[in-house]
Structure 1
């Protein structure tokens, strides 16, 4: 079996002054502060959160 695809996310813009739902998405993706990175599975649920806050993130395929 092959490993599920993964995506590396880096928070490049601050969540200060953003909507509460957008802050919750960033936290749900495992990001805590500026320039912090996390690796998440490429699932439809995570893709939905990424698309909601794409303007705050740098997205790289792993």
Structure 2
């Protein structure tokens, strides 16, 4: 019983973490991104969208 209609969002880390706030670094880590240009495909949820909005200047979103 695979749920095929689950929306996903692809996130790429495009900005470096040096000089950023520690909370923002933790948000990037919570998204599963660790190195520059790393990509994760995540389930689209309000929690994930909130993390993306917090670090929008560091990530690129591909729907």
TM-score by length of 2: 0.90
1:8 counterpart SS class: strand
Superposed CA RMSD in Å reads 1.0
Runs of 4+ aligned residues of structure 1 deviating over 2 Å after TM superposition are none
Partner of 1:38: 40
The structure with more radius of gyration: 2
Which of residues 4, 7, 31 is equivalent to 1:5? 7
Identify unmatched segments of 5+ residues in structure 1.
Answer: none
Q: How many residues align?
A: 61
What TM-score do you get using the length of structure 1 for normalisation? 0.92
Q: Secondary structure at the match of 2:41?
A: strand
